[in-house]
């Protein structure tokens, strides 16, 4: 038996792979959540988005949320191994930019659990590191970012190391 044949044999089939169907999925089905209530602990980002022709703003905003958090452009069997609702970014609001054709401000909320505790580098790499070359978008710009006090406290404690207890 080849290595490839043994990968998904009945003996090694996981719960995540049962019923798995490969293919491309629409981001808005998972990452566009206009009913989401922002939490005090969420990191909030406002992106100016210009979608490619034919891409609806909801799909573009959801794509930004997905690609800057837990998403991928295709369905993969490992999707079932982690709690997507716990870690995913959510595009919760979209509004057109006044006076600009086909430009939108997409608001995205990220849970603190998505990022390494107190690592500003990890947070920025996740939010802006992967999404700016995304093909569904003609243009993208990070307009604003709100970092909650809970994350700032974690970052300060990490910078101070074990001395943080001495200072407080």
Q: How confident is the prediction along the chain (168 residues), in pLDDT tens digits per residue?
A: 444 444 443 333 334 434 434 445 687 887 899 999 999 999 999 999 999 999 999 999 999 998 877 665 555 555 555 566 666 888 999 999 999 999 999 999 998 877 777 777 778 878 787 777 677 789 999 999 998 887 777 665 555 554 444 444
Domain boundaries, given as residue ranges, for the chain: 25-159
Q: For residue 120, what are the contacts with CB-CB under 8 A and spacing of at least 6?
A: 155
**Taking Cα atoms as reference points, which of 38, 37, 36, 44 lies closest to residue 147?**
44
Kindly report the CATH number that applies to the domain delimited by 25-159. Answer: 3.30.70.150
- The radius of gyration of the chain from alpha carbons, rounded to an integer in Å, stands at 19
Model pTM score: 0.71
Residue among 123, 120, 141, 124 nearest 132 (CA)? 141
């Amino acid at each position: 038996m080849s290595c490839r044949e043994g990968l998904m044999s009945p003996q090694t089939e996981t719960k995540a792979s049962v019923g798995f169907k490969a293919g491309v999925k629409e981001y808005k089905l998972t990452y566009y959540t206009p009913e989401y209530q922002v939490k005090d602990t969420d990191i909030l980002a406002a992106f100016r988005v210009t979608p490619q022709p034919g891409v609806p703003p909801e799909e573009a905003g959801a794509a930004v949320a997905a690609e800057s958090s837990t998403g991928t452009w295709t369905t993969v069997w490992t999707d079932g191994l982690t709690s997507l609702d716990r870690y995913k970014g959510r595009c919760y609001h979209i509004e057109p930019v006044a006076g600009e054709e086909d430009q939108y401000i997409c608001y995205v909320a990220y849970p603190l659990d998505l990022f390494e505790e107190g690592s500003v580098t990890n947070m920025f790499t996740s939010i802006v590191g992967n999404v700016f070359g995304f093909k569904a978008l003609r243009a993208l710009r990070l307009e604003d970012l709100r970092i909650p006090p809970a994350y700032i406290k974690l970052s300060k404690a990490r910078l101070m190391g074990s001395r943080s207890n001495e200072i407080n």
